[in-house]
Homo-oligomer: A and B are copies of this chain.
Amino acid sequence: MELTGQVAVVRGEEELWARTAHLFATATDVACAANDLNTWARSRHPPTPPRVVGMRVRKIYRPSVLLDPNSARHVTEVNALGADVRITPDELNETIILDRRLAILAGETSGGVRNYSVIPLPDVVAGVMSLFEAAWRGATELAVYDAQTAELRELAPRVLELLGTGCKDETAARSLGLGVRTYRRRVAELMAALGAGSRFQAGVRARELGLV
């Protein structure tokens, strides 16, 4: 770990947890933004098991977490444990803010390990916090989003599979018993959920999430 002023840059999640575990253990206000579950979750040290009733845990995810059944289940569980979960279509940098006093920002990945900046500076944390609040306000409650996209998740696996075969929309639509217009609606929703601006990008993202 190297020091840059008062900002500590740690390499890899191992080191991050080692350094901040005690803070997570006592935090009562956790704000977290993540694009997928690979960054904060599934690690050795789950950052936010919300046990205490008085604490407030807020998490913002991208819609794509709802497409992967495993991720969706995990998010639902976290939500059931008392965390407030919202969904946003925007691209967010992985961020955690503890008790409005410490900000952790994920940075570049080099050689498989990601850098994390641990920032205790009050002004910086306040600025990051206000951005988080804005993103939070703009995001959709998990339950609401979940209801909106229920039927999409129903069809998503088959749509992805058909896209993965490289066949034309016409063919794929018929094979699903849908009109081409409706099929394309599904694809568009899927791409929005994946945050992809092109089908190539959607393919990459889908593969990253293990959906194909």
Contacts and interface: CB of A to CB of B under 8 A. Distances in A.
Interface of A: 163-168, 196-208, 212
Nearest to A202: B200
A143 to B, nearest CB: 30
A164 B204 contact: yes
The interface centre, meaning the residue of A163, A166, A201, A203 with most chain B CB atoms within 10 A of its CB, is A203
B197 A200 contact: no
Contacts of A205: 203
A164 B197 contact: no
Chain A, interface SS category? helix
Given A207-B208, A208-B207, A199 B200 contact: yes
Contacts of A163: 198, 200-201
A160 B167 CA distance: 21
A200 B206 CA distance: 9
A201 B203 contact: yes
B199 A203 contact: yes
B164 A200 contact: yes
6 contacts: A163-B198, A164-B204, A165-B201, A200-B202, A200-B206, A203-B207
A208 B206 CA distance: 11
A164 B166 CA distance: 17
Nearest to A163: B200
The interface centre, meaning the residue of A202, A204, A206 with most chain B CB atoms within 10 A of its CB, is A204
A70 to B, nearest CB: 15
A124 B102 CA distance: 68
